[in-house]
């Protein structure tokens, strides 16, 4: 522990953002980076607790007190080694993770928590900037070859771990560029894609092969999987969205949030030309149904596209701004979360039930809702359904004749193997819709058991 009184002498420095009038007109990162000196000061607030509950809350078990201490002393090489020991992609979690660890920080009992997520981000960005990150391909290969289907966080983490263990890895992605939901679901103002490209190029330099634009089960017969690979990991995510079966659902302008975000990201990334855009919020009254992160991403995107107004509605009551009594520390609390997108200009409403969509000439013009016992009408030219996802697409698992669990996710045993020998699954496809950090954990754990299956000696999960 570098400074036993650091948490007393130094106050938490809130994340600094670009001004709203500037950031809301482009898709660049909304956050401003900290310098190394600020990171050292913030790292000094970590108390190196006897029982660090941040470890308990973090799905991947990051060595948080240890790398905070290294940062405080300016030992960034030690810090990045500690960080990479448990986290394959800290430059991603450092930007999009909801920081479960911070809510379990011991300082949260009576003070502002340590800026764990930003400290993590400062470590990895310092490492990239100063040449501490370079390709490290394995010195020996096992001769085994593994197919990973899906290049989201679970698939990438699984591929990275298996490659480190010396196996040859091929990652299949049905879209034109690897990244999965990291590329097509998360807007650039939260995760610029050059950050993702930087990591993928590193993975390629270490020996992982990416085959994008190939839809396994359509462009690539499933019969070839068992013939060409010693093991397979399915990491295709949870991609079937929750729908709203009410009157008027078929009206034009009522769309799924992920279809909207994916198209927008493809345009920003140059994969499709703006003239081919099908869902655009420009000059429209937009209503986002769903109060989670995906809904917030829709809000920010609609604002940048020039929506005339944006309203976000949620069926649940408004959360408390303080930790609920029934969710004491160190649990992750259900509290009101206001994102940078909300701050840019969005009306939010809670306890709103959608009754039906109304329209003219086949186009949506409004929503009839119930709010606090009264029927209300919300004008809408574009409605985005952001109510989460039900389960993975079943076309590929059906072709492989795999079993499902009660929630229609792919069923696996305790070793992440499906009902078919040699075929494993990880991430949202196995556990259901969840966080990026949980997907990384899933990918790492699946890699451990795949490695054990292939040679009886597992990599550390």
Residue 379 sits in the same domain as residue 278: yes
State both tokens at 3: 């400074």
User: Are the CB atoms for 413 and 381 separated by under 8 Å?
Assistant: no
Please name the residues in contact with 303: beta carbons below 8 A apart, sequence gap of 6 or more: 24, 310, 341, 344, 345, 346
Residue 247 sits in the same domain as residue 357: yes
Residue 174 sits in the same domain as residue 81: no
Residue 259 sits in the same domain as residue 383: yes
Residue 383 sits in the same domain as residue 420: no
State both tokens at 201: 């190029």
If DSSP codes are grouped into helix, strand and coil, which group holds residue 251?
coil
The DSSP secondary-structure symbol of 260 reads H
Structural domain boundaries enclosing 270: 243-387
What CATH code is carried by the domain that includes residue 231? 3.50.50.60
pLDDT for residue 461: 47
Q: Give per-residue pLDDT as tens, 281-305.
A: 999 999 999 999 999 999 999 999 9
Residue 177 sits in the same domain as residue 266: no
* Angle, vertex CA 440, rays to CA 439 and CA 446, nearest 5: 85
Does any domain span residue 1? no
pLDDT for residue 300: 98
pLDDT for residue 3: 79
Q: Which of 387, 419, 440 lies at the terminal end of a domain, its last residue?
A: 387
Q: Give per-residue pLDDT as tens, 180-189.
A: 999 999 999 9
Residue 230 sits in the same domain as residue 284: no
What is the number of structural domains in the chain?
3
Q: Give per-residue pLDDT as tens, 101-151.
A: 999 999 999 999 999 999 999 999 999 999 999 999 999 999 999 999 999
Does any domain span residue 346? yes
Residue 262 sits in the same domain as residue 362: yes
Q: Give per-residue pLDDT as tens, 430-460.
A: 999 999 999 999 999 999 999 999 987 655 4
Q: Which of 129, 153, 171 lies at the terminal end of a domain, its last residue?
A: 129
Residue 256 sits in the same domain as residue 363: yes
Cross-strand pairs, 310: 286
Q: How far is CA 459 from CA 93, 165, 174, 197, in A?
A: 22, 6, 28, 26
Does any domain span residue 135? no
Residue 343 sits in the same domain as residue 382: yes
Counting Cβ atoms within 10 Å, is residue 452 exposed (0-12), middle (13-18) or buried (19+)? middle
State both tokens at 372: 């606090």
Residue 418 sits in the same domain as residue 287: no
What CATH code is carried by the domain that includes residue 73? 1.10.1060.10
Interhelix angle for 64-72 vs 76-84, to 10°? 160
Residue 408 sits in the same domain as residue 423: yes
Give the predicted TM-score (pTM) of the model. Answer: 0.96
């Amino acid at each position: 522990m570098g400074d036993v009184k650091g948490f007393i002498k130094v106050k938490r420095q809130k994340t600094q953002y670009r001004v709203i009038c500037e950031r809301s007109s482009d898709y660049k990162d909304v956050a401003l980076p900290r310098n190394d000196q600020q990171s050292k000061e913030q790292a000094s607030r970590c108390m190196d607790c006897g029982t660090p509950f941040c470890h308990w809350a973090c799905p991947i078990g990051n060595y948080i007190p240890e790398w905070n201490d290294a940062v405080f002393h300016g030992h960034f090489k030690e810090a990045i080694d500690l960080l990479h020991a448990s986290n394959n992609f800290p430059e991603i979690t450092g930007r999009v993770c909801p920081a479960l660890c911070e809510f379990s920080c011991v300082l949260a009992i009576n003070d502002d928590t340590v800026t764990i997520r930003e400290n993590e981000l400062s470590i990895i960005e310092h490492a990239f900037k100063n040449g501490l990150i370079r390709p490290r391909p394995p010195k020996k290969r096992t001769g085994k070859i593994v197919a990973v289907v899906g290049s989201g966080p679970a698939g990438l983490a699984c591929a990275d771990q298996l490659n480190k263990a010396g196996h040859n890895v091929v990652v299949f992605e049905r879209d034109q560029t690897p990244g999965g939901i990291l590329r097509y679901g998360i807007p650039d103002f939260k995760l610029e894609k050059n950050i993702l490209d930087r990591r993928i190029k590193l993975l390629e330099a270490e020996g992982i092969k990416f085959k994008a634009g190939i839809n396994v089960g359509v462009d690539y017969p499933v019969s070839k999987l068992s013939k060409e690979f010693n093991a397979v990991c399915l990491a295709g995510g949870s991609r079937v969205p929750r729908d709203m079966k009410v009157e008027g659902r078929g009206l034009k302008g009522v769309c799924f949030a992920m279809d909207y975000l994916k198209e927008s990201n493809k345009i920003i990334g140059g994969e499709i030309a703006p003239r081919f855009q099908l869902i655009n919020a420009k000059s429209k009254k937009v209503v986002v149904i769903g109060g989670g992160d995906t809904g917030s991403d829709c809000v920010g995107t609609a604002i940048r596209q020039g929506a005339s107004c944006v309203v976000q509605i949620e069926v649940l009551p408004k959360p408390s701004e303080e930790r609920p009594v029934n969710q004491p520390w160190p649990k992750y609390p259900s509290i009101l979360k206001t994102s940078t997108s909300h701050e840019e200009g969005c009306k939010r409403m809670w306890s709103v039930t959608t009754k039906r969509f109304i329209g003219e000439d086949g186009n949506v013009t409004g929503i009839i809702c119930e709010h606090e016992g009264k029927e209300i009408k919300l004008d809408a030219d574009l409605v985005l359904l952001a109510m989460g996802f039900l389960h993975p697409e079943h076309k590929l698992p059906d072709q492989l004749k795999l079993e499902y669990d009660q929630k229609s996710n792919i069923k696996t045993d305790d070793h992440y193997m499906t009902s078919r020998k040699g075929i494993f699954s990880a991430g949202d496809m196995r556990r259901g819709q969840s966080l990026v950090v949980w997907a990384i954990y899933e990918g790492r754990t699946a890699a451990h058991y795949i490695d054990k299956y292939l040679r009886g000696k597992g990599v550390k999960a």
